[in-house]
Structure 1
Amino acid sequence: MSASVAALALGLTWGVPAAAHRAPQAATLVLEPTTAPGRWLATGRGVSLRVDLASVGATPVIRFQFVGRDGQPVAGPQTRRAFLETGQGPPVAVTPAGAGWVAQASFAILADARLVLEEADHTHAFRLNLHLAEPVAGAPVPVPDAPRRSPEGGAS
């Protein structure tokens, strides 16, 4: 197991990685928004999982990467398979890219998804608890499904 995943697992979970033949219980990663647009971090003991939203042409992508305290990328585990389970259809493939992984998917699938990293002898599963950025002070807040009043005073 790589040191970065071990540190993240120790800092963010109370469980032990499950054997590869069993479905692992997902540890929850609380992804907090950063000051960089489209970037979230979940921090453990000295290691963070950084999630970036981007696009390649018209295709939305989600990038996952482990970073150290200094914000620099650290090596992730050697995975034989990685994917996102969304509960909405088949798993979304997550492929190695540089020091991290990339999924060709939109931001919307991250809500309550599970990031699964399968290594040769065990599996890590992380439920992604995505916190949205706070609204800008003074910005109008939409009210969903609020009944509209007609000029005569009745609801429309």
Structure 2
Amino acid sequence: MDYNELISNGQVVLNSKIDGDFEGFDDGKLFPLYNGQYWLQTKYKYWYHYSYMAKIMIYKYQNRYYLTKDGKDKFVEVKLINDVIKATIVNDFNGWSGDTLFELNNGQTWKQDEYDYDYNYSYRPDAIIYYDGYNHRILVEGKSVQVRQLK
């Protein structure tokens, strides 16, 4: 399927904006929307394009959903997810290094559950924890890593 087929035959089910930075498509990318919904990329496709509060459209076509960025002929398959926790990390954040603990302002503690390294300093950043269909992940400062809940 190409972009023209999608917009000609698909049905627009949502017109919204990304809540924050939009940085294109990547494997398992989470798209938080201004309306409070969260959509997760389900098929691998890479495309980099930066935009702040990007206008997007969600199309339904052949019982699948696709996200497009306004003004671009790119799209990616997505699914709506509801198992989402928004919180704030309660201390300095330095990224993750393999066994990082994430203490949240809601009293929960999550631990990194896969090896990955990412250095990124931030003071009390927002975090989004979501279930991708296989594992829980935490999204902080635009990057995510697999986690498991301790308490």
TM score, norm. by length of structure 1: 0.23
Whose helix fraction is larger, Structure 1's or Structure 2's? 1
Structure exhibiting the larger radius of gyration computed from Cα positions: 1
Whose strand fraction is larger, Structure 1's or Structure 2's? 2
TM score, norm. by length of structure 2: 0.23
- Higher normalized contact order (CA 8 Å, seq sep 6+, divided by chain length): 1
